[in-house]
Amino acid sequence: MDQNKDINQFDIPLAKRTYLKTSNSILLKRLLVSSPFLLLIFSNVTLRLIRNFDAGPLTNFIFQVERNHDYRVLGHLPYNEIPREKLVLIEPNIEVHIDMRDSLLKMREEAKKDGIYLVFLSGYRSINLQKDIFYSLKSIRNQEAAERARVSAPPGYSEHSTGFAIDIGDATQRETDFETEFENTKAFRWLIKNAAKFHFKLSFKKDNKYIDYEPWHWRYEGSIEALKIFESSNRKMQI
């Protein structure tokens, strides 16, 4: 809100109140005022009704609202940015969380033994970089925010900011980088079969109602810190 604006400039609707002016309501008011005994009886009846009120359904409703309120923005869950001291460089321009480095490199080596050549496309991305990606591409492509969010997380809502997300491609089919056609590559088929052995999980599957299918985007869940970070996401998938 602009602090320089007069509050009266804003259209704040007034609450409408309805007053009962029937003869019955007037009679009831006179009886309650003139008869303390009647007022006492009326109060006791009201207290009994309150005590007998079943708060169960209301409690359940409140719990359901709280459980469903997961702080999503345009379908994306919030993620904090990893401290710089927890990042390691695995190759030029690719940084990841130190907890996931060994598993990631081992997975690539095991794939190579099977004749599969994985290439890492993107690892850690700062919130500032994610901001540039989200808003710049949104503007260039003339997209609304909700449309852009189908394929790119808003800043502060990307798994890449945790350092536990990695985008993977097939070194023999680079034309499929960041494309759904990646699912037709040998690399993707190998990942589907073997990635879980190294604690990696496909983040955005075809049945995701918020975010478009991303066969190249995988996240690491092989440490307590990673499990805590993605606990909310995994829980929502079960509801």
Tell me which residues of the chain have a pLDDT lower than 70. 1-70, 73-75, 136-143, 145, 147-151, 236-239
CA distances from 21 to 34, 38, 187 (A): 19, 21, 77
Quick one: pLDDT at residue 190? 98
Same domain, 183 and 151: yes
> Helix crossing, 98-113 with 224-238: angle to 10°?
80
Rounded to whole angstroms, the Cα distance separating 224 from 86 reads: 14
Same domain, 220 and 148: yes
Q: Where a domain ends, among 43, 68, 93?
A: 68
Query: Taking a C-beta distance cutoff of 8 angstroms, is the pair 124, 87 a contact?
Result: yes
> Helix crossing, 23-34 with 36-51: angle to 10°?
110
Question: Is the residue at 116 inside a domain?
Answer: yes
Quick one: pLDDT at residue 194? 98
The pTM (predicted TM-score) of the whole model is 0.65
Quick one: pLDDT at residue 232? 76
Same domain, 35 and 119: no
Question: Is the residue at 10 inside a domain?
Answer: no
Same domain, 133 and 189: yes
Q: Which residue has the tokens 């409703």?
A: 61
Q: Which residue has the tokens 């708060």?
A: 55
The boundaries of the domain holding residue 53 are: 17-68
Report the number of distinct structural domains present in the chain: 2
Quick one: pLDDT at residue 206? 93
Quick one: pLDDT at residue 20? 44
Quick one: pLDDT at residue 133? 76
Same domain, 98 and 207: yes
Q: Where a domain ends, among 42, 68, 94?
A: 68
Question: Is the residue at 6 inside a domain?
Answer: no
CATH for 148: 3.30.1380.10
Query: Taking a C-beta distance cutoff of 8 angstroms, is the pair 141, 150 a contact?
Result: no
Same domain, 47 and 97: no
Strand partners, 119: 169
Question: Is the residue at 33 inside a domain?
Answer: yes
- Residue closest to 73 by CA, chosen among 158, 161, 166, 162: 158
Query: Taking a C-beta distance cutoff of 8 angstroms, is the pair 100, 163 a contact?
Result: yes
111-125 per-position pLDDT tens digit = 999 999 999 999 999
Strand partners, 217: 167
Same domain, 63 and 179: no
Quick one: pLDDT at residue 150? 64
Same domain, 94 and 62: no
Same domain, 38 and 121: no
Question: Is the residue at 57 inside a domain?
Answer: yes
Same domain, 226 and 120: yes
Same domain, 226 and 112: yes
